[in-house]
Amino acid sequence: MAVEAQGGQKTAGIKPATGKLGIMVVGMGAVATTLIAGVEAVRRGLAKPIGSLTQMGTIRLGKRTDGNSPLIKDFVPLASLDDIVFTGWDIFDDNVYEAAAHAKVLDHDHLQQIRPFLEAIQPMPAVFDQHYVKRLNGTRVKKGKHKCDLAQQVIADIQNFQKTVDRVVVLWAGSTEIYLEPTEVHQSIAAFEKGMVDNDPSIAPSQIYAYAALKCGVPFANGAPNLTVDLPCMVELSRQNSAPITGKDFKTGQTFMKTVLAPAFKARMLGVSGWYSTNILGNRDGEVLDDPESFKTKEESKLGVLDYILQPELYPDLYKDIYHKVRINYYPPRGDNKEGWDNIDIFGWLGYPMQIKVDFLCRDSILAAPIALDLVLFLDLAKRTPQLANIGIQEWLSFYWKSPQTAPGLYPEHDLFIQLMKLKNTLRHIMGEDLITHLGLEYYD
């Protein structure tokens, strides 16, 4: 592999992260405002980027005895936080300060310190249709003859922003849409474009933003469980325009815990007979998910992980009869401070039953913001990396998703630590470093 020296780094043909990185966020609610306020707070030295692998994580290079573990951000050429510029879209008029105050994730003092910066970011009018998010009623919504016209307006927004920055990534942090399944209209770019002109109901607003981004050659990350880029037409567009895509639905609280605990049970060959997960949540996301059609989208995303991790077809004695239930209850007093409660019925030697209870009193957007940051930085890296830019789906970013996206026919890897190894080995690979397999026999020669 051609590895050239550049700025003290081996960059394997990766274009440097010079200039401004523009992040366009669809939906400037709790997650988006916590991300934007957090990046600004970190830039001003008011806080640390805790929870962000790109900012705080290290990567071992070479043997354990080499003692070489640089920070990831010093190893791969990532955009600096100082070079990030934010804009976005929302259906409400609020600027980012007002939206952050409404979301009540960050406290008053934190927000006051960066208030003018946040007030200066005003979302653009959105592509929105209440059919797809029943509990919201938008006031700042684009108008157009048909969905194709709306897509052209989003393309114009992206192109205008592109004139002011060097590179762009689009992040969906908008609400969860109703449950949709792929139809004929999603099978090719041509069918999708015709479907937009025909106002096909299986084309949701999130798909219109994704189409616009990919059409502009811009990477797209989907923080919600919506059917958006996990479609043949979007994969085709992503590859055609070198615009990386990846999975969906940030893996933050309960599912994060699930993808840590389930591999542990399987590693020890402990059985699982039941896993009951419930949540109480009082933010706008919770209100949207109170609608059964939006909840179904979330439920599908949350339910998928256990089957893939536990592989009941390989271990029928341990996991064949597992009863898995997920509930989300809207409970306004808690706001963004979700409580995720799990009861896990496991069984051990000779089938004797045991129970584990997990009660995660988390803060939803505090967990999601660093994931959103890492994703946009890594997608921007993928776009600049010759080995990654044209492949479409970035499976190495599965680490961040409840529903990782894979090549057709390939089952997704949900185990958090396998995902982390895959991510770090991808970084080593693109930088021309040896992969780490953890074999380790060389230490005993």
Ligand X SMILES: NC(=O)c1ccc[n+]([C@@H]2O[C@H](COP(=O)([O-])OP(=O)(O)OC[C@H]3O[C@@H](n4cnc5c(N)ncnc54)[C@H](O)[C@@H]3O)[C@@H](O)[C@H]2O)c1
- The interface with ligand X within residues 366-405 (CB under 6 A) comprises 367-368
Interface map 204-243 toward ligand X (x if CB under 6 A): -x-----------------xx-------------------
Task: Provide the minimum distance between the beta carbon of 275 and ligand X in the complex, in angstroms, as a whole number.
Answer: 19
Listed residue (116, 39, 52, 48) closest to 84, CA to CA: 39
Q: Is 77 in the site for ligand X (CB under 6 A)?
A: no
Q: Is 121 in the site for ligand X (CB under 6 A)?
A: no
Nearer to ligand X, 244 or 370 (CB): 370
Q: Tell me the residue type at 80.
A: S
Backbone φ and ψ for 107, nearest 5 degrees, come out as: -80, 165
- The interface with ligand X within residues 1-40 (CB under 6 A) comprises 26-31
Q: Are strands 84-90 and 21-26 parallel, antiparallel or unpaired?
A: parallel
Which of these ranges, 15-23, 234-242, 279-287, 316-324, lies near ligand X under the rule CB under 6 A? 279-287
Instruction: Give dist(CA 308, CA 322) in Å, integer.
Output: 13
Nearer to ligand X, 205 or 392 (CB): 205
First to last CA, the chain: 29
Instruction: Give dist(CA 267, CA 257) in Å, integer.
Output: 16
Q: Which of 126, 231, 234, 245 binds ligand X (CB under 6 A)?
A: 126
Question: Helix, strand, coil shares of the chain as percentages rounded to 5?
Answer: 45, 20, 40
- The interface with ligand X within residues 332-371 (CB under 6 A) comprises 364-365, 367-368
Instruction: Give dist(CA 174, CA 224) in Å, integer.
Output: 7
Backbone φ and ψ for 222, nearest 5 degrees, come out as: -115, 100
Residue 127 Cα to chain centre, angstroms: 21
Which of these ranges, 3-11, 44-52, 244-252, 262-270, lies near ligand X under the rule CB under 6 A? 244-252
- The interface with ligand X within residues 166-185 (CB under 6 A) comprises 173-176
Cα Rg, the chain, nearest whole Å: 22
- The interface with ligand X within residues 130-169 (CB under 6 A) comprises 133, 136
Listed residue (29, 115, 39, 132) closest to 80, CA to CA: 39
Q: Which of 40, 230, 249, 374 binds ligand X (CB under 6 A)?
A: 249
Nearer to ligand X, 59 or 171 (CB): 171
Task: Provide the minimum distance between the beta carbon of 91 and ligand X in the complex, in angstroms, as a whole number.
Answer: 5
Q: Which of 52, 61, 84, 90 binds ligand X (CB under 6 A)?
A: 90
Give DSSP secondary structure letters for 185-229: GGSSHHHHHHHHHTT-TT--HHHHHHHHHHHTT--EEE-S--SSS
Instruction: Give dist(CA 389, CA 396) in Å, integer.
Output: 13
Nearer to ligand X, 128 or 319 (CB): 128
Q: Is 128 in the site for ligand X (CB under 6 A)?
A: yes
User: Which residues are at the interface with ligand X (CB under 6 A)?
Assistant: 26-31, 89-92, 103, 126-128, 133, 136, 173-176, 205, 223-224, 249-250, 252-253, 283-285, 288, 364-365, 367-368
